[in-house]
Amino acid sequence: MAEILVYVDHVDGAVRKPTLELLTLARRIGEPVAVALGNGAADTAAALAEHGAVKVLTADAPEFADYLVVPKVDALQAAYEAVSPAAVLVPSSAEGKEIAARLAVRIGSGIITDAVDLEAGDEGPVATQSAFAASFTTKSRVSKGTPVITVKPNSAPVEAAPAAGTVEALTVSFGALATGTKVTGRTPRESTGRPELTEAAIVVSGGRGVNGAENFAIIEALADSLGAAVGASRAAVDAGWYPHSNQVGQTGKSVSPQLYIASGISGAIQHRAGMQTSKTIVAINKDAEAPIFDLVDYGVVGDLFDVVPQLTEEVKTRKG
């Protein structure tokens, strides 16, 4: 069976959920071979094997942490040359897309970014993308070289599928460009305790209707009752009510959770661009004519200051 390279996103050996989702998709088109780099790379093996990796190629070197991106591209290229895979899958983070693009250029292959689904096809894997602010769904396949495909978080379920997960050391020699951009400092982001916005299964967002930074506490309370991440519209961010890192939309982050709850958000095209592929969309808005209601699965016409706290209480009660 054809081998599929899966680039592993992990933090000191803890594999992040989008990589486990990639393993689910990789199993549809071949046998997953995972590539884990950097500190804790070998510690990823158990989780990767549990989710279907037949092999785990690992490499650790100070270059992965000390320099931007290129050492990782060198390593992924080394894995590509060692395995000759039928496809290379990479999580669609900013870094993942840069790694994938650089690899595609180096190996002379076509690339598909931000896929939301992947299936086997007669002439190679077929990727689904959501285009033009999710107005169109396209299916494409790479017609030149080995397909390099980046996949958005929440595009596939995480499935247990135990496999051998044999760990093999990957030999990497870094090129002259690898040490071109040095990391000179790191400041860890203060943790909110909430899931990462782009990876969260549930996102609760607030917009101009929230009417003040202090009122975001009710959005956060609903999010916490559901174990969700908090998002915000650009109007709320521009007003200084919530950080830009939480902005959802064309000039913010793109999310695709199982459940997206929009409160006091009108549903401008630029906001929709970042959330329209969410599986289930709920909106709370006091204006029954708000455009957001055109795309919701469930809509509540009402004042968010009445509805959201009641919803939070109901969730808490049902969770016992």
Ligand X SMILES: Cc1cc2nc3c(=O)[nH]c(=O)nc-3n(C[C@H](O)[C@H](O)[C@H](O)COP(=O)(O)OP(=O)(O)OC[C@H]3O[C@@H](n4cnc5c(N)ncnc54)[C@H](O)[C@@H]3O)c2cc1C
For residue 131, the minimal CB distance to ligand X (Å) is 17
CA dihedral 98, 100, 105, 106 (to 10 degrees): 110
Which residues lie across from 7 on neighbouring strands?
35
Q: Could you say which of 130, 246, 254, 266 contacts ligand X (CB under 6 A)?
A: 266
For residue 271, the minimal CB distance to ligand X (Å) is 3
| Residue with Cβ nearer ligand X (165 or 209) | 209
Length of the chain: 320
Residue linked to tokens 């996103």: 9
**CA 149, CA 89: separation in Å to the nearest integer?**
5
For residue 264, the minimal CB distance to ligand X (Å) is 4
Contacts to ligand X from residues 212-241, by CB under 6 A? 233-236
Which residue in 152, 156, 28, 15 sits closest to 90, CA to CA? Answer: 152
Contacts of 5 (CB under 8 A, 6+ apart): 33, 34, 35, 76, 79, 80, 83, 85, 87, 88, 89
Output the six-digit token pair for 161: 């599928």
For residue 250, the minimal CB distance to ligand X (Å) is 4
Is residue 287 a contact residue for ligand X (CB under 6 A)? yes
For residue 207, the minimal CB distance to ligand X (Å) is 2
Burial of 184 (0-12, 13-18, 19+ CB in 10 A): exposed
Is residue 140 a contact residue for ligand X (CB under 6 A)? no
Strands 10-11 and 229-232, by their bridges, are: unpaired
Q: Could you say which of 250, 293, 315, 316 contacts ligand X (CB under 6 A)?
A: 250
| Residue with Cβ nearer ligand X (16 or 234) | 234
Output the six-digit token pair for 55: 């092999």
Q: Could you say which of 286, 293, 315, 316 contacts ligand X (CB under 6 A)?
A: 286
Q: Could you say which of 71, 96, 209, 257 contacts ligand X (CB under 6 A)?
A: 209
Q: Could you say which of 137, 251, 258, 310 contacts ligand X (CB under 6 A)?
A: 251
Question: Which one-letter amino acid corresponds to residue 82?
Answer: A
| Residue with Cβ nearer ligand X (133 or 161) | 133
Which residue in 271, 57, 83 sits closest to 171, CA to CA? Answer: 57
Segment interacting with ligand X (CB under 6 A) among 107-115, 116-124, 217-225, 298-306: 298-306
Which residues lie across from 205 on neighbouring strands?
231, 262
Is residue 272 a contact residue for ligand X (CB under 6 A)? no
| Residue with Cβ nearer ligand X (147 or 207) | 207
Contacts to ligand X from residues 81-100, by CB under 6 A? none
Q: Could you say which of 271, 276, 281, 296 contacts ligand X (CB under 6 A)?
A: 271
Output the six-digit token pair for 181: 């951009």
Question: Which one-letter amino acid corresponds to residue 11?
Answer: V
Segment interacting with ligand X (CB under 6 A) among 42-50, 88-96, 133-141, 244-252: 244-252
The contact set with ligand X (CB under 6 A) reads 207-209, 233-236, 247-252, 264-266, 268, 270-271, 274, 284-287, 290, 303-305
